[in-house]
Structure 1
Amino acid sequence: MKKILLLCLISPLLWAQSTPVQSKIENVKVFLNGAQITRSAQVSLPIGKTELLFKGISPQINKQSIQVKSESRFTILSVTHQLGNLLDKAQQEEITKIENQKRLIEDKINIEENNLLLFKREEDMLLKNQVVGSLQAGMKVADLKESVEYQRQRMQEVLMKKLEFEKNIQKLEEEIKKLNQQLTDINARKDVQMSEIVVTVLAKEPVNQAPVSIAYFVKNAGWTPTYDFRIEKLNQPVKLAYKANIFQYSGEDWKEVKLSLSTANPYKSGTAPVLQKWVLGERNDYSNYYNNVEEKESQIINANQSEVWGRVTERANKVGIPGASVYLKGTTLGTTTDANGNYRLTIPPTFYGKHATLVFSSVGYKTEEKTISSNRIDAVLDDDAKQLNEVVITGYGGGLSGKVAGLSIDNDRDFSKRTIPLDITERDAPTSQTFDILIPYTILSDGKVTTAEIKAESIPAVFEHFCVPKIDTDVFLHAHIIDWEKYKLLPGEASLFIDNTFLGKSTLDLSNKDTLSLSFGRDKNVIVSRTKLKSYQKKQALGSNKTEQFSYEIIARNTKNEPINLIIEDQFPTSSNREVSIDEKEAPEAEINTDTGKVKWRLNLAPVREYKVSLKYTIKSPKSGWVTAE
C-alpha cells in the first residue's frame, strides 16, 4: 500500500500534461533582413510538469533563436520546435459549424422551392380557368365580370408570392456561396505546415494566469530605407523625409502589433576578418572568409530591388485599365492597378530570377501571363466579348471612384503600398539604430510594401547648376550635402521633388563620399548656348602640314529672380599621334586639366543676366590626314 501511494504522489512530476496556449503577437522588431517576433500569453498550471503548446507560428522560424521568458513561480525545463498542421481543433469545429449552417439553409431552400412550385401550379390552373370561362355559354355578364375580377386579383397575388419566394431563394443561395467561400479559405490552409513551439515547465504549486512570452527570429521579412528630398527655394535647406519600406511574407500576419525597425542585419557576420600571410607571387583569396562565416541569406533582402511594376492597358484604345488584377502565379501574392492602370508588386526574393510568372486579368478582358524578366513588366489585354456584357461600372464625381467588377477604385489611392503616419521615436544601440513606431499597426503576410515615415529633417545644402553644352545645352540643378553622415542615412532609393513636383528617382550611393550630391533634373530657367565661330585653315610655307583653328562661344543666361552658381564644362582635344598636335589653347577664366583636356568655368550669375565664355585651339596635322574636332 505504501508503494502504491508513493507512485501516486510522484506521478504528477513524471508525466507532463499537454496544454494548447492561445498567444498573441505583441512586438515585432524588423531588421534589414529578417524579424524578431515576440508573443505573449497567460497560462494556468497545475502541480507538476506541463507541456505548453504554442501553435500557428511562422514556418520560417529559426529554431536556434527561440527564447522563452516567464515569472519565477515555475521552472522552464525544455523548449522544442516541431511542424504541425495549420488547422487546429477550433478550426475543425468551425468547419463543422459552417457545414451545419449550410444544411439548415439548404432545408430552407427546399421549403421555399416547394412553395414556389405550388404557386406555379396555381398560376397554370388560373390560366386554364380563364380559357374555360371564356368558352362557357349562357354566363351572365355580371357573373363573368366577377369571375374575371377574382381571377385577376388571385393571379396578382400568385405572381407576388412567386416573386417573394424567388427572392428568398436567391438570398439563401447567396448565403450558401458565402459559406462555401469560408470553407474554401479554410481548406486552402489545411495542407500548410506551421511551426509549433513546445515549452515544458514544472510547477511546484498551482499557478493561475501567469504571463509567458516567447521570442523567435523569422526570415522572409525586412525593411529598406527610402527618401524624399524636396526643394522649395535655393536659399533654403533641403527637406528630407526618411522612410522605411516594410514587407513580410513569413506565413503569419502581424495584426495590431508594436513595430521597431533596426538598421542591423543579423545575417551579416559580426566577426572581423583576419589577415593571412601574404606571399608575393601567390594569389590571396579572401572571398572564402565570408563564405565560411556567413549564411546564404547574408544579402539584404531589398524590397525595391525585389519589386516589379508597370502598366496594364487595353489594346483597343491604349488606355490604362483600373482595378485589373496582377498576381504572382502559384501564390496568393497580388495587387490591383490604380486609376491609371499602374501597379507595383513585391516579388519574394525566392522567386526572383526563377522564371516567375505574373498573371494579368480583368473582367471584360482575356487573361495574360508574362514571365518576369525585368523590374518593369507591362501588359496589354485584349477584349473578351463574352465577358464584356457582364461588366458593370458605377462611379460618381469628377474623378474615377466607385467599383469596377467588385474592386474598389479611388483616384488618390496607391494600391501597392500602405502608409503609416509619422509617430516614431529613435534610439541608438551600440552598433545600430532602432526606430520605434508608437502606434500599433497591421502588416499582413502578403509581401506588399508598407511605408512608414521615420523622421523629417531640414538639411543645409549647397546648390549648383551644371551644364556640358557640347553634349546637351540643358542645365542641371545639383544639391551638395556636406555633413550627410550625421543624419545616419543608409543606401536606398530617393524620390526628388521641386515645389511638390515629382522629378524622378535616384539611388542614394553613400560609399566613400565626403559630399552627398543629388541631381534635381533640368532647370529651364537657366539657358546655355554653344556656338561654333568661323574657323580657318592655313597652309605652312614649308613642309606637308596644315593648321586648323577652332573657336567656340558659350553664352549662359539666368532668367531666375535669384543668383545661381553655374559650372560649365567643355574640353580641348588630346592626341595620341606624334604627327598631330593641339596648340594655342585659350579658355579665359577657366580651370584646365592638362591630362584630360577638360575645361571648367565656375560662374556666379546674377538674376536676369548673361555671361559669355570662349574656347579656342588649333590643330596641326599632316595634309594627307583628316581631323574632326567639334
Structure 2
Amino acid sequence: MFPLPTPPRLLLSVLVLLCSVLVTAQEEMPVSSTIEEATVFLEGAQVTRTATATVPAGRRAIIFTGLTADLDPESVKVSTRESGFLVLSVSHRMNFGTPPEPGPEVRELEARVETLDFERDLISTRANIAREEEEILRANRSISGQASGLAAEDLERAVRFHRERLTEIRMNYLRWNRQLDSLAKVRESLMKQLAEMRGKKPQKAQSEIVVITEAERSATADFRLSYLVPEAGWEPYYDVRVTDISQPVNLRYRAKVSQDSGEDWEDIKLTLSTGDPKGSAVAPSLEVWRLYGGSRPPTYRPLAARDIRSGYRSVSGRIFDANGEPLIGATVLVQGTTIGTVADVDGNFRIDVPMEATALTFSYTGYRSSSRPITGGRLDVLLEDAAEFLDEVVVTGRARSRKQRRDERISEEDLSLDYSPPPPPPPPPAPAPVPTTVYRQATTVSFQIDLPYSIPSDGKERDVEINQHQLPAHYTHVTVPKVNEAAYLTAAVTNWEQYDLLSGEIQLFFEGTYLGRSYLDVSATEDTLNLSLGKDPNVVVERTEITEFRKESFLGGKVSQSRGYRIEVRNRKEQPIRLLVKEQIPVSADNEITVKSEISSGGRLESESGMVRWELQLPPQREVKVSLEYTVRAPRHKRIYLD
C-alpha cells in the first residue's frame, strides 16, 4: 500500500505552527546591563544602568536581567534615543531561578543518608516484631498459669523458655537502641555536611525588567534604566580646622555613604542629593471650616511618606523538634513553586519569597511535613516525629539525649552556615579632595563627584569628600568664669547659606590638635553661623572673690549683703584676641528687695537678665582685669542666700 499524499492545507498549518513555536522561543531576548550612575539620597538611592541591544523586527520582549531584588517596581524607568521602534510597555517581574543541580559529593551524602534511613527502618521493623512476640509470650504465660493438669516438668520447661526468650528480646532492645543511637549520630553529621554544601550557593532572587518593543526593521539601541533602592543613604559630616586665628576656617564637607542594595557599585558616577524620593511633592490644601452647634475644627494630618517597595519579602525562622533541638538540613519550600532553602546547623533559615506567596512547606526525613501560612517576617516551626518507635521500645534510661550527642560533636562554630561577619576594620584614612560639581534645583541640592567611585553592597560606611571651603570668620574668645575658668574659641561665619551645608557632626582641629566633636545644627542658625572650636589653652582665665568686699550688715530692719569678684585673663598667644567675658548679678523679683551693682569700666549690664558683658581687645602676651561688685538689701524676715 502506498502512502497517501499530505493535504496542502494540513502541511501549511504544520509549518505555521512550527514557525510560531520558533518565534515564541525567540520572543524573550535577555540583555545584560551595567551600573553607570547612582544618585544617593539621605535615605534611598536611584541607580541608573545602561545597555546596548539589537531590537529585532516585529514584536519582541527584551529582558534586562540580573537586577537587584530590592528595587522598587513602581520607580522603574526605561528610555532610549533610538526612534526606529516603539516601546509598548515596561514591566517588572521576579526571577527566583531554578534550584541548582546537586554535585557528586552532595548526591553521595544523600545516598548515605538514605542507607542510614533504611537501616533505621529495618531495626524499627525487627523491634515491632519483637514487641508483638513479647505480647504473645505474656499472654501464653497467663494461660499456662491458669491451666490445670500440667506436669511439673512441662511447666518448668515452659517457664525456662519464656525466661530465655524474654531475655533475648530485652537484650535485643538494648542492642537496637545502641545501633539507633549510632545511626542518629552519623546521620546528624551527614546532614550537617549537606547543609554546609547546599548553603555555599544559596538561591538568590533577582529582578528583571521586561520591555515590549515593536519595530519595522532591526535596529541597535542604547537603553537607560533607572530605579530606586531603599537600602542606601548618606550622612553629612565636617572637618573644621583652624591653623591660626588670623586665617579663615578650613571646612571640609564630607559624607558617610553606605548601601546594601544587593549589587555592587563599581567605578560609577556618584551623586549625593538632599532630595527625598519618598516624600510627597503635592502641597497640602485646606478644607472649608464650617461652624455649627457642636462642630469641631477640621483635622489635618501630614501626608505619609511613600515606602520604597521591592518585589519580594524575606522570611526567616527556626525549625526544631519536640525537644527544642534544631533539625539540621530541613527543607523549606515556597508552596506551589520550586523556590526553597535548607536550615543551617542551628535550625535557622532565611528565604526570599514572592510578594504573592501565601505559605511555606517544611519537611525533614523522619518527621511529618508541615505547611504554614506566611503571616509575617518570622516563622518558627515545630516538626513532629513521624515514628514513635523510640518511646515504645526503650526499656532503660541509658540512651543519650540529642542535646548530649550534639555537645559531643565538633564545634558548631567551625561548620556554622549562619556566618557572622568579622568585626569591621578601623575606618580608612580620609580620602584626598576630589573635584565636585554642585547643582542647585528648586528644592534640592546635588553634589556630583567628578571622579568614579566604588561602593560595595555591604552596608559599611565609606568616606566621600564633597567639597572644601575657606570660610572668612570673625574669631572671639568667650569665657564664663563663674561656670568654667576657660576660654572657648568661636568663629562667626556670615553668608554661610552659599555653601549648601546640612546639619551634621563636626570634628574640630585647632592648631594641629584634635579638640573633639561638636554638632552643626543649621536649622537653628540665623544670619550668622557660629562654630564653637573648643577650649584654647593659651588663654588663661582666673576668677577670685574680693574678700574685703564680702560684707553683711543690719540696719533698720534690713539686711545688706555684699559680694565682689575679680576676673583676670592672660593672652599667651602671639596674636591679639577679641575677648568676650560673661558674668552675672542677681535680679530682684520682689519690690522689697533691691540690688545695687558696680561694674568696672567697659562692662555692660542687661538690667532685665542681670547679665554682664565685657567686649575687649587683648594684645599678645598681655593680661586684663575686670571686676564687679553688688549689694543686696532685703527685709530681715526674707532670707536671701547669695552663696
CA distance, structure 2, for counterparts of residue 555 and residue 30 of structure 1 = 52
> Matches of 1:446 and 1:418 in 2, distance apart?
19
**Cα distance, 1:284 vs. partner?**
6.4
Q: Is 1:529 aligned with 2:538?
A: no
| Mapping of residues 465-504 of structure 1, within 5 Å | 465-504=477-516
CA apart distance, 1:422: 2.9
Q: Does residue 59 in structure 1 map to residue 69 in structure 2? A: yes
Separation in 1, partners of 2:308, 2:223? 31
Q: Structure 2 matches for 1:337-376, cutoff 5 A?
A: none
Per-residue deviation, residues 522-577 of structure 1 (Å, max 9, x unmatched):
1111111111112112221x3x2111111111111111111001111111112323
| Equivalence for 2:467 | 455
Mapped partners of 2:91, 2:308: distance in 1? 24
Paired residues of 2:72 and 2:308 also in contact (CA < 8 A) = no
Residue 568 of structure 1 is matched in structure 2 by 581
Q: Does structure 2 retain, via aligned residues, the 8 Å contact 1:424–1:435?
A: no
Query: Residues 297 and 571 (structure 1 numbering): CA distance in 2 closer, same or farther, change over 3 Å?
Result: farther
Q: CA deviation at 1:218?
A: 1.6
1:55-204 matches, within 5 Å, as: 55-70=65-80, 71-85=82-96, 87=97, 92=100, 99=103, 184-187=199-202, 190=203, 192-204=204-216
Q: 2:47 aligns with which of 28, 37, 43?
A: 37
Aligned match of 2:278: 267
Equivalent AA in structure 2 for residue 502 of structure 1? Y
Which secondary structure state, in structure 1, belongs to the residue aligned with residue 498 of structure 2?
helix
Residue 561 of structure 1 contacts residue 608 of structure 1 at CA under 8 Å; is this kept in 2?
Answer: yes
Structure 1 residues 52 and 441, CA, compared in 2 at 3 Å: closer, same or farther? same
Q: In structure 2, give the amino acid aligned to 1:505.
A: R
Equivalent position of 2:240 in the other structure: 229
> Which residue identity does 1:480 align to in structure 2?
A
Bigger relative contact order, structure 1 or 2, given CA contacts below 8 A and separation 6+? Answer: 2
Cα distance in 1, alignment partners of residues 274 and 39 from structure 2:
10
C-alpha deviation, 1:226, in angstroms = 1.3
Partner-residue secondary structure (3-state), 1:486: helix
Deviations 1:206-231 (A, max 9, x none): 34x54322111221212122111100
Alpha carbons 1:228, 1:241 under 8 Å: kept: yes
Match of 1:258, SS? strand
Quick one: which amino acid aligns to residue 34 of structure 1? G
- The answer to whether the 8 Å contact 1:426/1:433 transfers is no
Residues 144-196 of structure 1, C-alpha deviations (whole Å, 9 max, x = no match): xxxxxxxxxxxxxxxxxxxxxxxxxxxxxxxxxxx998864422xx1x43322
Give the counterpart letter for 2:577 in structure 1: I
For residue 595 of structure 1, what is the amino acid of its counterpart? Answer: E
Shift of 1:625: 4.0
SS at match of 1:519: strand
Cα distance, 1:10 vs. partner?
9.5
Residue by residue, what CA displacement relative to the aligned partner does 1:417-454 show, whole Å, maximum 9, x if unpaired?
68654333314243233222233322122211111101
| Native 8 Å contact 1:548 1:620 kept in 2 | yes
Could you tell me which amino acid in structure 1 is paired with residue 62 of structure 2? L
Cα distance, 1:414 vs structure 2:
5.8
SS of the aligned residue for 1:61 comes to coil
Q: Could you say what secondary structure the match of 1:485 adopts?
A: helix
| Structure 1 residue ranges without an equivalent (≥5) | 105-178, 299-328, 332-353, 355-386, 388-406
Alpha-carbon distance between aligned partners in 1 of 2:249 and 2:560, rounded to the nearest angstrom: 51
Give the counterpart of 1:428 among 439, 464, 469.
439
How far did residue 596 of structure 1 move?
A: 0.9
Secondary structure of residue in 2 paired with 1:616: strand
Shift of residue 287 of structure 1?
5.4
Q: Could you tell me how far 1:469 is from its partner in structure 2?
A: 0.6
Structure 2: which amino acid aligns with 1:220? Answer: E
State how far apart, in whole Å, the 2-side matches of 1:429 and 1:80 are: 32
Q: Is the 8 A contact 1:14 1:48 kept in 2?
A: no
Tell whether 2:604 aligns with 1:591.
yes
Alpha-carbon distance, 1:51 to partner: 1.9
Match of 2:224, as an amino acid? Answer: S
Find the aligned partners of 1:285 and 1:75 in 2 and give their Cα distance.
49
C-alpha distance after superposition, 1:337-369 (max 9, x if no partner)? xxxxxxxxxxxxxxxxx9xxxxxxxxxxxxxxx
Q: Choose which of 550, 554, 562 in structure 2 pairs with 1:539.
A: 554
**Correspondent of 2:303 among 291, 294, 306:** 291
What is the one-letter code of the residue matched to 1:547? S
Q: Distance in 1 between matches of 2:306 and 2:19?
A: 46
AA paired with 2:35?
A: I
Structure 2 SS opposite 1:423: coil
Letter in 1 for 2:619: A
The alignment's TM-score, normalised by the length of structure 1, stands at 0.62
TM value normalised by structure 2: 0.61
Q: AA paired with 2:66?
A: G
**Residues 569, 623 of structure 2: 8 Å contact kept:** yes
Matches of 1:256 and 1:79, distance apart in 2:
28
Residue pair 1:13, 1:48 contacting (<8 A) in 2 also:
no
SS of equivalent residue, structure 2 residue 201: helix
Deviation per CA, 1:594-615: give whole Å up to 9, x if none: 1111111111111111111111
Q: CA deviation at 1:330?
A: 9.9
SS of the equivalent of 2:74 reads strand
Which letter does structure 2 place at the counterpart of 1:621? Answer: A
Q: Give the one of 251, 254, 257 matched to 2:265.
A: 254
CA distance in 2 between partners of 1:510 and 1:283 (Å):
37
Task: Give distance in 1, aligned partners of 2:57 and 2:104.
Answer: 40
> Hey, what does 2:389 align to over in structure 1?
none
Structure ID, larger Rg:
2
How many residues are treated as equivalent by the alignment? Answer: 442
1 CA distance for matches of 2:568 and 2:604? 17
The whole-number CA distance in structure 2 between the counterparts of 1:19 and 1:595 is 80
- For residues 419 and 536 of structure 1, the distance between their equivalents in structure 2, rounded to whole angstroms, comes to 59
- How far apart are 1:485 and its partner, in Å? 0.9
Residues 251, 330 of structure 1: CA spacing in aligned structure 2 closer, same or farther, 3 A cutoff? farther
3-state SS of paired residue (1:64): helix
- Contact persistence 2:437–2:450 (CA under 8 A): no
- SS at 1:447 equivalent: coil
1:509 Cα deviation after fit: 1.0
Q: Is the 8 A contact 1:425 1:436 kept in 2?
A: yes
Question: Deviation of residue 41 (structure 1)?
Answer: 2.2
Structure 2: stretches of 5+ with no match in the other structure: 1-7, 109-193, 310-347, 351-376, 378-409, 411-420
Q: SS of the counterpart of 2:240?
A: strand
